[in-house]
Amino acid sequence: MKVWVDKPKCTGCAHCHDVCPVAVFVMKDINAPDVNSDAAPEQAQWKGAHDQEVYNKWANVQDGHTHFKEKSVAVNGESCILCQACLIECEGECIHIIDDAGTEYKSIYK
């Protein structure tokens, strides 16, 4: 399984990190040098600007989660069992999973 995060859309909520049963995701500070170390394609890498639509939706939400200080990095995609828990919980709707047959699964926030 190949897993990557569309970084500009990631709110840093860490839901994916918290729900994944096989530790696919780690949270990295937005200034960490290895924040782009998953399989995200060029257009989905972190270059310093949050997606404006996602930012406007989540920046002022007080739900106990820190927003926009970290990004999720899918460092262990090969362990993914496609339980889809992260896809349901992802605030930024920015997780992409591609199975071995090439079928892509995307986040849809509950």
Binding site for ligand SF4 (CB under 6 A): 3, 5, 10-16, 19-22, 24, 72, 80-86, 89-92, 94-95, 97
CB of 57 to ligand SF4, least distance (A): 11
Distance CA 32, CA 30 (A): 6
Q: 14 vs 35, which CB is nearer to ligand SF4? A: 14
Do 95 and 85 contact (CB within 8 A), yes or no? no
Nearest to 97 by CA among 25, 47, 18, 15: 25
CB of 93 to ligand SF4, least distance (A): 7
